[in-house]
């Protein structure tokens, strides 16, 4: 194992507090602009150089480069899932070895560890950092930039939170969301119910058809998650909507599921069914992580690997054939939940892992 670099826990906690206390819910452009400026300031303060804000319809992305020939892309995001005001209810704290607060695990802690690991290196040439503003809502505005920089660099390190026990994430399911809209016809539920076309009844048929598409035995889950229909209790509903979460492990399953949604047909005469969405993040195959994970194990013996159901921007880069290693961020848990936490004692070790991986890639 390489010699450890000098990293300060207190300095990491200071930067983590700074980032957490600038709330950054996805789609809140004012909040994301403030967050992006704060991320840029942390990068410049710890790494030198200049961090550039890349404007987008989803908010500013942040880019930093150490110069030289690009060799490795450090990838993260500064948007979080928590609405403004969460910080007041759940302020940043460090107690009993845990840091808590909105976004500490997903994924501000990982970003801080990456920055401080890099800051301890004398040579940061060939390193690029991209911190996006829309990962939590599908990365529609950042995907092209992510893919461009991944191809230019040739290796990607993703600083999403670690899997259970600190394991790295070497495989991810492809994931997406479908929105199924049903159009019927309203009528009086008491006077002439048969004159209507009940969109809610049609939605019930569609939910059963959709749920039957899942194949859990091969990793395909198809889960209706949100439904809405109707206006008043005495009106046959004319419209309904069903939202569906889908996860797949293979390109073949992605194709099968998307074809099946496109083929959905109404059960009730005169009802209409339309489908929007798709599997936007392709599966991240474990083969994309093999080389980089082997390197990480040399640096930190005992590291374990996990394939997980959640998606990240690493799905995009791995699908391009670019070596990608994920889950390098905070050790902790509770992503997207009120009990979200980061284990403080692991921060130095993870920052050292960053430094070791970057150095090895630079020298390859």
Say what percent of the chain tops pLDDT 90: 98
Residues 6+ apart with CB under 8 A from 265: 273
How does pLDDT run across 57-79, given as a tens digit for each residue?
999 999 999 999 999 999 999 99
Q: What is the DSSP string of 24-45?
A: -BTT-HHHHHHHHHHHHHHHHH
How does pLDDT run across 213-269, given as a tens digit for each residue?
999 999 999 999 999 999 999 999 999 999 999 999 999 999 999 999 999 999 999
C-beta separation of 100 from 93 below 8 A: yes
Q: What is the pLDDT of residue 342?
A: 98
174-281: same fold as 9-173+284-363?
A: no
Would you state the structure tokens that stand for residue 154, as one six-digit string?
A: 């040739």
Domain 9-173+284-363, CATH: 3.40.630.10
Average of per-residue pLDDT values in the chain: 97
How does pLDDT run across 275-297, given as a tens digit for each residue?
999 999 999 999 999 999 999 99
Taking CA atoms, 109 is separated from 240, 243, 347, in Å, by 40, 31, 8
**Mean pLDDT for the stretch of residues 102-115:** 98
Q: Give the CATH architecture of domain 174-281.
A: 2-Layer Sandwich (3.30)
Q: State the pTM of this model.
A: 0.92
CA–CA dist 68, 283 (Å, integer): 32
Confidence class for position 3, pLDDT limits 50, 70, 90: low
How does pLDDT run across 12-25, given as a tens digit for each residue?
999 999 999 999 99
How does pLDDT run across 41-51, given as a tens digit for each residue?
999 999 999 99
CA–CA dist 113, 20 (Å, integer): 14
Domain boundaries, the chain: 9-173+284-363, 174-281
Q: Is the pLDDT of residue 2 over 70?
A: no
Would you state the structure tokens that stand for residue 60, as one six-digit string?
A: 């500013």
């Amino acid at each position: 194992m390489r010699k450890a670099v000098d990293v300060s826990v207190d300095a990491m906690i200071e930067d983590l507090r700074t980032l957490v206390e600038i709330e950054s819910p996805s789609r809140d452009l004012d909040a994301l602009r403030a967050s992006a400026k704060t991320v840029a300031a942390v990068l410049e303060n710890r790494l030198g150089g200049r961090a550039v804000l890349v404007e987008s319809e989803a908010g500013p992305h942040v880019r930093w480069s150490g110069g030289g020939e690009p060799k490795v892309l450090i990838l993260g995001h500064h948007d979080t899932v928590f609405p403004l005001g969460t910080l007041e209810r759940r302020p940043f704290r460090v107690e009993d070895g845990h840091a808590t607060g909105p976004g500490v695990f997903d994924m501000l802690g990982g970003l801080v560890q990456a920055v401080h690991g890099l800051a301890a290196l004398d040579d940061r040439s060939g390193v690029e950092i991209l911190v996006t503003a829309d990962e939590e809502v599908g990365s529609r505005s950042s995907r092209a930039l992510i893919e461009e920089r991944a191809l230019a660099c040739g290796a990607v390190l993703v600083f999403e939170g670690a899997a259970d026990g600190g394991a790295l994430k070497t495989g991810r399911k492809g994931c997406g969301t479908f929105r199924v809209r049903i159009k019927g016809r309203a009528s009086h539920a008491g006077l002439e119910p048969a004159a209507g076309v009940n969109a809610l009844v049609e939605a019930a048929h569609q939910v059963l058809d959709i749920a039957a598409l899942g194949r859990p035995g091969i990793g395909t889950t198809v889960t209706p998650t949100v439904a809405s229909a109707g206006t008043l209790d005495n009106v046959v509903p004319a419209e309904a909507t069903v939202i569906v979460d889908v996860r797949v492990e293979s390109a073949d399953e992605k194709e099968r599921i998307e074809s099946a949604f496109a083929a959905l047909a109404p059960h009730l005469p005169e009802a209409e069914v339309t489908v929007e969405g798709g599997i936007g993040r392709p599966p991240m195959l474990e083969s994309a992580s093999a080389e980089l994970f082997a390197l990480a194990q040399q640096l930190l013996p005992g590291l374990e690997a996990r394939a997980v159901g959640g998606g990240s921007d690493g799905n995009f880069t791995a699908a391009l054939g670019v070596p990608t290693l994920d889950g390098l961020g905070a050790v902790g848990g509770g992503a997207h939940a009120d009990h979200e936490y980061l284990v403080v004692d692991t921060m130095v070790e993870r920052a050292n892992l960053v430094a070791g991986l970057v150095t090895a890639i630079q020298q390859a």
